Structure formats: C-alpha cells, structure tokens
Amino acid sequence: MSTFDPDPPAPAVGGSPAAQLVTIKRFLADRQPESATGDLTSMLYDLAVAGKLISNKTRRAGLTDMLGRSGVTNVQGEEQKSLDVYADEVIAGLLAQGGRVSALVSEEQPEVTIFEGNGPYVVTCDPLDGSSNIDANVSIGTIFGVFKQREPGSRPTVDDWLRPGRDLVAAGYLLYSTSTMLVYSTGDGVHAFTLDPEAGEFLLTWSDLEFPADPSYYSFNLAASRHWEQGVERFVHWANRDDTPTMSQRYIGSAVSDFHRNLLHGGIFAYPGTDDEPAGKLRLLYEGAPLAYLAEQAGGRGSDGRTSLLELQPADIHQRTPVFVGALELVERLEEFVSEPLQDA
Ligand code: AHM
Ligand code: MG
C-alpha cells in the first residue's frame, strides 16, 4: 500500500523557462510568420492591454468597492460596475478601437456585438470567469478564442462565430492571481507571460508549455458526484486508487486557475453534466473550446466525455457543454470509462 504524502516535492513543469527578458510585444513579433499581416499580433496585444487594465482593477477591487453587483450606486452618486461588467467593457472597447475584430461573442452579452471597420477576426470571450469567487479574494481569469472570418473584410455572419473550435486560429487566457499571467497559443505551442507590474510589461515566463508526463491533480467538484453519469464517477474512483499515478484532488472553482495549475503540473479539470443539467455549466464557444485548443497545443485534450470539444458544432452562442480538459492520457481514460457499459448499482 502506498502512503499519502501531504507535501510532495514540487512537480516539474513541461516547458522551456525563459532564458532572457522578452516582452510579449517582442515575442509576438518574433513568432509572427513572415506572410502574416500583423492583424492577429496586434489584436493579441490589445487583449494583453485589456488584461493589464482588468488586473489593475481586480487588485483594487476591495479598496474601491468593486466587489458587489452592478446597479449599485456609489458615494459619488455614480452607478457602480461589477468587475464582470468592467472587464466586458474594457475588452469590447479595446477590440473595437483596434480595428482587427469584426464581431465579439461575450458571456456578458446576450447577442453578438458587431464592430464597425470589418477587421478580419471574430473573438469569443468570457471577460471574467470564476467571478463568483471575487468576494473571497480567489483568483479569476479571462478566457478568449479567435476565429478568422470566412470572408475577411465582409460583414460578419452567423457562420463566422457558430463554428467548431477546430476553426480557432488562437486562444488564451489571462489569470489574475498572486501575479497576472497571459497564456496563449496561435497554433505553434503554448506560451506564458507574467505581468511585471512595475514595468507594466508582460514578460516571457515559459515557452512551448506541455503537460508534464506524470500528472499531479484531478480537479472535479466532488460535491456533485452523485449527479454525474456513472463513467465519470468511475474515473474518479480510478484516480483515487493506490495503483494509479498518485494524484491529489484540487478544485478552485475558477476554471482558468484550475486549468493553469494542471497545465503546469499535469492533471485534468472537469465540469461534468449532471442529471439536472446534462450539458453542465460551462459554455462551448468561450470556455470549453478555447481551453481545449490550448490543451491540444500543449499535448493534451479537451472532451465532452465522448467527443473532442474542438469538433462540436455550436447551435447557440451561449451553448453549454460538459468539459474534461487536461493531460491526454487522463482525458482519454475518462472517455474510456464513459464509453463502458453501465454497471449495476
Ligand atoms: P462563471 O462563468 O459564471 O464564472 O462560471 C464558471 C465557473 C468556472 O470558472 C468554474 O470552474 C465553475 O464556475 C465552478 O462552478 P461550481 O461552483 O459549480 O463548481
Ligand atoms: Mg465563465
């Protein structure tokens, strides 16, 4: 029988640590293919700027009373904005001004926002994911995915955003935690940057991140386990067994943070469907698909339990999906359990 070690050595990170100071601007410019117009690079830089502003507001949230819900009036008689609303406005404003984006799908908006200028990209985003954690000072994040318009330069149509994640040309997230990080991929690996708040620059921390070989964590909200389908429960039992790789259970309840930790240290993050909500809680276009894109770029996989999240065709911009995303062997193992015949209770 193996013994439980509550304080194991820090697991290895599967990526190349930065050997020198490289700003995100320099990195984006260096990695941009010669044939590229620079539109994608500029748009990613706009998102980095949005991340700086949101990070700044997040850090001051407790001081400026941004924690509450929107609609509250502050002492100056101005209507207070919650951080979710602020983040949504900052991202929409910067992308609109940047001129590279023609449409934005946001968790905060019931409909798609169309921008003037007909930039070639369509962005999907959850401006502030995990925001129910804000009042407890728990880390939160921004998730984004980027599609290229089918006919760049024309007015965007529904076919430009209701499309499978396989069509994404970039995805990433910002993580607002002890430090602020930007992690993104444009299809040539996953790269992570940390914001130096003094310099106001995102500096390269890891390039070409990959899930490490030995996974450390599984991240499921076990309180909901009695409502999952059997295969998901059986996976968790397997993950707990002595003869499987030793993994700890860690669940922050903030998808970006759970995904990020598992990307660095190996693992799987899940938000399964339940008997009440078979599609779960997370949204395909701006949560599931971008995280699955990053996972694939890091050698992993994102799945709804049966099919890659990147193959699913959304029928609605806010469509939900079960999400299992992380190291390849764990997601594939989960899919095996889900596909096995039901066992008697
Ligand atoms: P949100 O988009 O409304 O913030 O909800 C998504 C968040 C995820 O970050 C997190 O994984 C999940 O909700 C946690 O939900 P639960 O508390 O049901 O486990
Ligand atoms: Mg969310």
Residue closest by Cα to atom 6 of ligand 1: 130
Residue 211: left if φ>0, alpha if ψ -120 to 50, beta else—which one?
Answer: beta
Q: How far is the CA of 290 from the centre of ligand 2 (A)?
A: 12
Q: What is the pLDDT of residues 219-260, one digit of tens each?
A: 999 999 999 999 999 999 999 887 766 789 999 999 999 999
Q: Whose CA is nearest to atom 14 of ligand 1?
A: 253
Distance CA 313, CA 335 (A): 19
Residue scoring higher pLDDT (13 or 63)? 13
Instruction: Give residue 78's pLDDT.
Output: 46
Give the mean pLDDT of 283-302: 98
Q: Where are the domains of the chain?
A: 21-206, 217-339
Centre of ligand 2 from the C-alpha of residue 258, in Å: 13
Residues with CB under 6 A from ligand 1: 107, 126, 129-132, 221, 253-255, 271, 281
pTM attached to this predicted model: 0.92
* Ligand 1 centroid to residue 240 C-alpha, Å: 24
pLDDT value for 341: 79
The torsion angle over the Cα atoms of residues 76, 82, 88 and 90, rounded to 10 degrees, is 40
Q: Where do we find the tokens 């764990």? A: 330
Please provide the size of the chain in residues: 345
* Token pair belonging to 222: 């076990």
Match 């929107």 to its residue by tokens: 70
**Which ligand has the minimum distance to the alpha carbon of residue 144?**
2
Of 3.40.50.10170, 3.40.190.80, 3.90.950.10, 1.10.3720.10, the CATH number of 217-339 is: 3.40.190.80
Q: Can you tell me the mean pLDDT for 272-285? A: 96
Q: Give every CB contact of residue 20 below 8 A, 6+ residues apart in sequence.
A: none
Q: Does the structure show a pLDDT above 60 at 272?
A: yes
Distance CA 277, CA 147 (A): 28
How many H-runs (helices) and E-runs (strands) does the chain carry?
8, 14
**pLDDT at res. 67:** 55
The CA-atom distances, in angstroms, between 277 and each of 148, 227, 339 are 32, 9, 19
**Phi and psi of 284, rounded to 5°?**
-65, -50
Q: What is the pLDDT of residue 149?
A: 95
CB 255 within 8 A of CB 270: no
Atom of ligand 1 nearest to the CA of 282: 6
β-pairing, 140-148 with 121-129? Answer: antiparallel
Six-digit token string for 99: 């001129």
Provide DSSP, 141-152: EEEEEEEE-SST
Q: How far apart are CA 109 and CA 228, in angstroms?
A: 30
Q: Indicate the burial class of 342 (C-beta count within 10 angstroms; 0-12, 13-18, 19 or more).
A: exposed
The rounded distance, in Å, linking the Cα atoms of 264 and 259 is: 9
Q: Compute the distance from residue 303 Cα to the ligand 2 centre, in Å.
A: 17
In ligand 1, the atom with minimum distance to the C-alpha of 129 is: 4
Alpha helix ranges (H) inside 16-103: 24-31, 39-59, 61-64, 83-98
Least confident piece of the model among 52-56, 90-94, 114-118, 203-207: 114-118
Write out pLDDT tens, residues 77-94: 444 468 899 999 999 999
Ligand 1 atom with least separation from CA of 269: 11
Please determine, looking at this structure, whether the domain spanning 21-206 carries the CATH number 3.30.540.10: yes
**How many Cα neighbours within 13 Å face the side chain of 73?**
4
Please say if the pLDDT value at position 73 is more than 60: no
Contact 282, 195 (CB under 8 A): no
Ligand with an atom nearest the CA of residue 125: 2
Contact 85, 67 (CB under 8 A): no
Ligand 1, atom 7, lies closest to the CA of 130
Take atom 15 of ligand 1 and give the residue whose Cα is closest.
Answer: 253
